[in-house]
Amino acid sequence: MTETGTTPGSQSALREANQRRVVDVLRRDGTRTQAELARATGLSAASVSNIVRGLRAAGTVSVRDTSSNGRRARAVTLLRPPGTVVAVDFCGDRVRVAVGDSDGNVLAREAIAYDVAADAGRAVRRAAWLVETALLGARIDLGTVASVVASVPGPIAPDSGEVGAISCLARWAGFRPAEALGERLGLPVLAENDANLAVVAERALGAARGADHVIQLVLGEGVGAGIVMSGRMFRGAGGTAGEIGHIGLDPRGQVCRCGNRGCLETFVGTGYLLNMLPRTHDLAPGPDRARLREVVASALDEDPGSRRIIAEAGDALGQGVAIMANLFNPDRVVVSGDLAEAGDLLLEPMRRSMEMGTLGAALARFDLVTSALGEDAPIRGALLTAARSLR
């Protein structure tokens, strides 16, 4: 795949530079007439008129008729920062891309099935190709993209941008996805943990609106959490604050991939849950994620074995969340992931377990809910994070 981008000195680069000059004046000075913009930027009246026309079409500025020194004029007001933003979601079995405007609204989407865990470099190359495909389909120039945020199912070290050693993507350990994707696209890229991005989206658009102390659980191969305290993301010193899948529940339990025994993940991770199924349980062959969805569907259809598996997972999850509730005293816990589709079959055992292990004062100001955005939460959070970086 060839790298694409804006060549320095090209007509595209010149247009972007001139546009930035106009936007900078509006951001600094507020509403200005087109004539005043021409004088402030040193651009010709025709160039300013063309730039304003493009910004207006994109919803970046508003234009109204006015007068200046007794003459008719057009007043221009900046409505929002210009630019397109892109979100990339690296999941275990697929790559997803969303293109958004400067407010984080979705303009276009693309997705492909892909074994992301197998090779970090190839996954990034595939993601870069998918970004270009999405932009091409939406007829958006790569040169207008101002920010890219990538969602990764694992901890990201805040200082180096490296993926931590304990994640669902074992071969990504030490890899720097933001740096690699940025080199492919020729754009600034931020990589963030998927649960952290999910909680951003749920607070803005979903089940955590109005809450300032939130724990967002993302259930999958592992168990991650995005933690917001007093309205601010809490990542910890090394970016591992939300790795609650490694809370120890049973020192004599199964060995976890982190090397310890009886971690929460060994009770609720997708692979562990599927191993609990009796050999006679008839599931269609396929990815673990698809098979877990079958288990959830069977539970909702009142299959007793599937219900028992989900109830036991809910009990263990409640024990882990009780520890977090005592530590962080959240006002909302949002549960997402395929297992969350079981609804109250999962939440009720969680609540009963939490009643046994959580301080009464913490439970009194606490809501336990399922995600409103589902699997869209990380990618929507990535778009919102990219849009906020423009302000």
pLDDT tens digits, 101-137:
888 999 899 999 999 999 999 999 999 999 999 999 8
Q: What does DSSP say about strands 232-233 and 223-229: parallel, antiparallel, or unpaired? A: antiparallel
- What's the DSSP call for residue 102? T
pLDDT, tens only, 131-181? 999 999 888 878 778 899 999 999 999 999 999 988 888 899 999 999 999
Where along the chain do its domains lie? 11-78, 84-198+378-388, 208-371
Would you say residue 97 has pLDDT above 60?
yes
Q: Are 328 and 229 in contact (CB under 8 A)?
A: yes
- Report how far residue 185's alpha carbon sits from residue 382's, in angstroms, rounded to the nearest whole number: 17
Which CATH number is associated with domain 84-198+378-388? 3.30.420.40
Report the topology of domain 11-78: Arc Repressor Mutant, subunit A (1.10.10)
Q: What percent of the chain stands above pLDDT 70?
A: 94
Q: What are the φ and ψ backbone dihedral angles of 343, each rounded to 5 degrees?
A: 60, -130
Tens-place pLDDT, residues 3-43: 334 444 467 678 878 888 898 898 888 899 999 999 999 99
**Domain 208-371: which CATH number of 3.30.420.40, 3.30.413.10, 3.40.50.300, 3.40.50.720:** 3.30.420.40
Rounded-to-integer distance, Cα 379 and Cα 79, Å: 25
Are the folds of 11-78 and 208-371 the same? Answer: no
Predicted pLDDT at 5: 41
At residue 242, what is the residue type?
Answer: G
- 156, β-bridge pairs: 163
Q: Using a cut of 0.85, tell me whether the model's pTM lies above it.
A: no
d(CA 378, CA 205): 12
**The predicted structure's pLDDT at residue 3:** 37
Mean pLDDT score, 200-216: 97
User: Has residue 81 got a pLDDT over 80?
Assistant: no
DSSP E strands in the chain: the ranges are 32-33, 61-68, 71-78, 84-90, 94-100, 106-113, 145-152, 189-193, 214-219, 223-229, 232-233, 332-337, 367-370
pLDDT of residue 8: 45
Give the neighbor-by-neighbor strand order of the sheet with 61-68: 32-33, 71-78, 61-68
pLDDT bucket at 279, cuts 50 / 70 / 90: low
Instruction: Tell me the pLDDT tens digit for each residue of 314-350.
Output: 999 999 999 999 999 999 999 999 999 999 999 999 9
Query: In terms of DSSP bridges, do strands 106-113 and 94-100 run parallel, antiparallel, or are they unpaired?
Result: antiparallel
Strands (E), 205-259: 214-219, 223-229, 232-233
The CA angle 20-22-28, to the nearest 5 degrees, is 95
